[in-house]
Amino acid sequence: MTRIRTVALAVLFMGLLLSGGNHESEAGGTGSAPGTPSQSVLVSTVRTEITPVVADYVEQSLQRAQREGYAAYVVQLDTPGGLATSMRDIVQDILGSRTPVIVYVSPEGARAASAGAIITLAAHAAVMAPGTSIGAATPVGMQGEDLGAKVINDAAAQAEALARLRDRNVEIRRRDGARGPLDRRDGGSAAGSGG
């Protein structure tokens, strides 16, 4: 996707969100504002670790967005990371989506760390609120211990593949998928979110 299309999606998302488009709130509650789904975005809030429950929630919400014809599906994200298997499930759902997926790292002070960074890379567009961060994509064990080179190289390869797919800065993603912080931002599009 070109940088122009990425920016256009982000602008569409912000315009629809600010104009009161339909949205889904945290924990699956629905807020209904005027507008038809084709003119609205569906928003799900994830403010927790990435787990199988979260992966199911995102999958069901994305299916709803596709089924009901929403213009885009937005994941408002604030996560320290989570399980690699759940992250991969979410990434596969995003990659298979006919509806554009936008990850919005929000509110101010939020983060898309670890699994959240990879999910953000998978999105068609990534937007960050002021004072948010993305990074620390190096996988760790259940107790926070370092993992072997094979697991780390797999994460780096996935970050690189997603960066290539979404026309983002591959060198930054390759380096950071294997080492740690991706970027610190003060709002706007995520670093390298276009070509």
Q: Work out the burial of residue 98: count CB atoms within 10 Å of its CB; fewer than 13 is exposed, 13-18 middle, 19 or more buried.
A: exposed
DSSP H or E run through 133: strand 133-135
DSSP H or E run through 174: helix 170-179
Is 114 designated active site?
yes
C-alpha to C-alpha distance for 86 and 84, rounded to whole angstroms: 5
- CA 169 vs CA 24, 73, 124: distances in Å: 31, 24, 14
Catalytic residue among 40, 114, 133, 193: 114
Q: Identify the residue whose tokens are 């599009």.
A: 189
> Are the CB atoms for 57 and 25 separated by under 8 Å?
no
DSSP H or E run through 136: none
Quick one: tokens of 118?
Answer: 């990879």
Is 150 designated active site?
yes
Q: Which residues are catalytic?
A: 114, 150
